[in-house]
Amino acid sequence: MKMLQQATLLEEFRFPGTLFRVRKIPIAQGWRKIYIKWEGNNPTGTQKDRAAYMHVRRAIEQGYDTVTVGTCGNFGASLAYFANLHGMRAVIYVPSRYTNGRVREMRKYNAEIVYVDGSYEDAVERSVLDAMKYGYYDSNPGSVNSRVALESFKAIAYEIVAALGSVPDLVSVPMGNGTTLAGIYMGFREMLDMGISRKLPVMLGATTGLGNQIAETLKRGSEELVPLREDEVRETEYNEPLVSIKAFDGEYALEAIRRSGGLAFEFYDEELLQLAEELRMEGIDPLPASSSSLGAIERYLEFGGYFENAVAVVTGRRF
């Protein structure tokens, strides 16, 4: 009975889903329309809340009492929030070398933190192994329930179409594992297949120049994801969500970018900070890593790409 009540509560959660037109930044001043899909009003300030919400809901439906994930910060904060909201235990694995302040927030939501020596991918691996060992619900990307996160991001595509009345020419998404981008693309595909819409947007992946497997694969023109060595990537205070040695949803993201005629663009920290500054003119306080999505639209234009309207997915900062 208790489980049933929790599940009902989860059903009722609604994401704010804000979309607004950018007016002040230079590329928005001509006839082209640039929109921000603002995920900063979600409970913990990022789009990862959507995946965490779906995972916790699924975990409750399946009778689990503990959820786990390996995280660079944002997803862990999201999972801790929703687990706490619904009386579940959250065990979150964090690479000890990561510097962002979201662990404090995870603790505030009563999560148990396990530090892992090594990379983000090592933290995910430990979380997956412990999920099997201790019977936790596994919320990790690339794992048994990874489809849940992809499904959760489809809603962003639906919300964009609902707000604009049609599919935009271009959708730009900050990219680490590629889950968000791939999930949004699947949403657009679903609408096309169901006859709700008549085209697909060009998908742009916006990421760090300091190591992302999907961008590197596209750069090298390889069909398959290229292996990256640990010394080929470097996390910094600003690029952490975008770095990936192994992109867990890389195949799906590659397919989305390639099939839609899209591209990936890389940004360094100074550029991320500059882009965040540009977005601040629009009255939001974005996470610098996620401001890369605006940069990708600017760069697409510089490369001679044509579009009439474009949407950049941007998340907030909450630490």
Sole binder of ligand PLP in the list 119, 127, 146, 177 (CB under 6 A): 177
Q: Does 74 bind ligand PLP (CB under 6 A)?
A: yes
Piece of the chain touching ligand PLP by CB under 6 A; list 126-134, 175-183, 215-223, 302-310: 175-183
- Residue 152 and residue 134: Cα distance in Å, rounded? 26
In the complex with ligand PLP, the residue whose CB is nearer, 6 or 143, is: 143
Sole binder of ligand PLP in the list 139, 140, 152, 179 (CB under 6 A): 179
Q: Which x/- pattern over 181-220 shows residues binding ligand PLP (rule: CB under 6 A)?
A: x---------------------------------------
Buried-state track 206-242, b at ≥16 Cβ within 10 A, e below 16: bbbbbbbbbbbbbeeeeeebbebeeeebebeebbbbb
Q: Does 279 bind ligand PLP (CB under 6 A)?
A: no
Unique residue bearing structure tokens 């599940």: 7
Q: Does 241 bind ligand PLP (CB under 6 A)?
A: yes
Contact between residue 98 and residue 235 where contact means Cβ atoms under 8 Å apart: yes
In the complex with ligand PLP, the residue whose CB is nearer, 60 or 310, is: 310
Q: How far is the CB of 266 from ligand PLP (least distance, A)?
A: 14
- Residue 108 and residue 268: Cα distance in Å, rounded? 31
Q: How far is the CB of 59 from ligand PLP (least distance, A)?
A: 19
Contact between residue 293 and residue 265 where contact means Cβ atoms under 8 Å apart: no
- Residue 46 and residue 38: Cα distance in Å, rounded? 9
Q: How far is the CB of 163 from ligand PLP (least distance, A)?
A: 20
Contact between residue 194 and residue 206 where contact means Cβ atoms under 8 Å apart: no
Q: Does 178 bind ligand PLP (CB under 6 A)?
A: yes
Piece of the chain touching ligand PLP by CB under 6 A; list 87-95, 169-177, 196-204, 257-265: 169-177
Closest CA to 99 of 223, 235, 219, 237: 237
Q: How far is the CB of 276 from ligand PLP (least distance, A)?
A: 12
Q: Does 289 bind ligand PLP (CB under 6 A)?
A: yes
- Calculate the CA 12 to chain-centre distance: 22
Q: Which x/- pattern over 94-133 shows residues binding ligand PLP (rule: CB under 6 A)?
A: ----------------------------------------
Contact between residue 108 and residue 102 where contact means Cβ atoms under 8 Å apart: no
Contact between residue 79 and residue 69 where contact means Cβ atoms under 8 Å apart: yes
Q: How far is the CB of 78 from ligand PLP (least distance, A)?
A: 8
Residue 303 in tokens: 């490369």
Q: Does 290 bind ligand PLP (CB under 6 A)?
A: yes
Q: How far is the CB of 154 from ligand PLP (least distance, A)?
A: 13
Piece of the chain touching ligand PLP by CB under 6 A; list 20-28, 71-79, 88-96, 268-276: 71-79
Q: How far is the CB of 178 from ligand PLP (least distance, A)?
A: 5
- Residue 260 and residue 64: Cα distance in Å, rounded? 38
Residue 152 in tokens: 């959760």
Beta-carbon contacts of residue 184 (< 8 Å; ≥ 6 apart): 153, 154, 156, 157, 171, 173, 203, 313
Q: Does 44 bind ligand PLP (CB under 6 A)?
A: no
Interface residues toward ligand PLP, by CB under 6 A? 46, 48, 72, 74-75, 174-181, 241, 287, 289-290, 315
